[in-house]
Homo-oligomer: A and B are copies of this chain.
Amino acid sequence: MDKPPKGNAVVGQSGGPTAVVNQSLVGVIEAARKCGLIERLLGARNGVRGIVEQRFVELQGLDRPLLERIADTPAAALGSTRDRPDEAYCKRILEVFAANNVRYLFYIGGNDSADTARIINDMAAAAGYPLCIFHIPKTIDNDLRVTDHCPGYGSAARFVAAALMGDDRDNASLPGIKIDVVMGRSAGWLAAAGELARQDPTDGPHLIYVPERPVTEERFVEDVAETYGRLGRCLVAVSEGIMDEKGVSYGEKLAASVERDSHGNIQLSGSGALGDYLAQIAKTTVTQKLGRKTLRVRADTFGYLQRSFAGFPSPVDRREARLAGRKAVEYAASGLPSGSVAFKRAAGAKYRITCFRAELAEVARETKPLSDEFINAAGNGINESFRAYAAPLAGPLPVIGRL
């Protein structure tokens, strides 16, 4: 292991914001001050785009109170990007690094960002340019491989659980069928967090649908009718990315004009189309099946609030996102080769994690679906075992009082 060189460092943020992505940024800033190797810490505005455009902000002179305010502010304080660099783009990045004596890159993002980090790292190695890159995981989707869970997920899970908990009480007050669409294009981790809202067997969400299991209209109708027949109401949480039996997502089917970002991802969040579609089925087929003339049916799509709501982060998620940022710098300063910061959960009843270095290639590109063990046999709900996994991440939730 070569002795790590002194030089400058760049830190950037990429992809969809989270409530704690600035905790990781502040973790990098703190550790960079201490490590003794980093002369200038340059924040790249809008991720890789700010690197090629040389839009940098000096991050080492910021005072502690400002850093703490930034850490607790949702979304990327440096600005984010959806750019996915190709070879020419990465070449330009390396040129900028060489011109600025940048020897370290800390890049906060999801699997696409890990892939960007991997490409730059490979190009630097091929060019013989000494560069250490650490990817710092960030995603509300919780779909990165290797790590036990991802910074950003706990706060989003906390928001979704509190939203569904309140909405379940709303639905109990004015009974009917309610459908809540939760973020998650390809993985059901966030919709599964709805399970944390349930404190009594009669509490909703009574049904949780995730992209990992096919959802047919027939199945949806039967499930909702059965629940309504039993409880006189039904709260449904559904991932925006649910698919039919042929593996075609409802979002894709419903989108009049499918918009894709530069990574080829379909834009699903925000439009109420899926919720409205399922509500329409409930208003017609479910209502008929129950032999009723009319039922109260509503749908909400939680949208960007899940990733950027201010003032309601998970305490554990805040701490761990900060830790991931610090660890990235510490690993680089200790001479470890480029990689991604990952969490490992210690065995035992008490929640505790340790960090380790993962290979960039193991985190890049492909994602991790919601584990089979957490999905019930019927494919319409979440197993009790998920609670042990997710409850520590979301942090303490309100306790429902009921008459």
Interface residues of A, Cβ cutoff 8 Å to B:
13, 16-17, 19, 22, 43, 57, 59, 62, 66-82, 162-163, 165-167, 169-170, 172-175, 178, 254-256, 266-267, 269-273, 275-277, 279, 298-305, 307-312, 397-403
Contacts and interface: CB of A to CB of B under 8 A. Distances in A.
Nearest to A70: B401
The CB with the most chain B CB atoms within 10 A, among A16, A75, A254, A302, is that of A75
A356 to B, nearest CB: 29
Contact of A267 (B79, B165, B256): B256
B267 A272 contact: no
Given A69-B399, A78-B403, A401-B70, A17 B270 contact: no
A159 to B, nearest CB: 9
A271 B256 contact: no
Closest 9 CB pairs of A and B: A272-B272, A69-B401, A300-B303, A70-B401, A75-B169, A166-B308, A269-B272, A166-B310, A170-B308
B256 A300 contact: no
A166 B403 contact: no
A174 B17 contact: yes
Contact of A271 (B165, B275, B401): B275
B272 A273 contact: yes
B270 A275 contact: yes
A166 B300 contact: no
A173 B79 contact: yes
How many copies of this chain?
2
Given A17-B174, A312-B312, A74 B270 contact: no
B269 A298 contact: yes
A163 B68 CA distance: 20
A323 B70 CA distance: 37
Given A82-B174, A401-B22, A401-B66, A166 B75 contact: yes
A167 B70 contact: no
The CB with the most chain B CB atoms within 10 A, among A13, A76, A77, A301, is that of A301
Contacts of A66: 401
21 contacts: A13-B173, A62-B403, A68-B401, A69-B400, A71-B401, A73-B398, A73-B401, A75-B166, A75-B169, A75-B173, A76-B173, A79-B172, A79-B174, A166-B308, A167-B304, A167-B308, A255-B267, A256-B266, A269-B298, A270-B298, A271-B300
Nearest to A261: B296
B266 A276 contact: no
Contacts of A304: 166-167, 170, 178, 298, 300
A401 B29 CA distance: 15
A312 B403 CA distance: 22
Contacts of A270: 272, 275-276, 279, 298-300
Contacts of A17: 169-170, 173-174
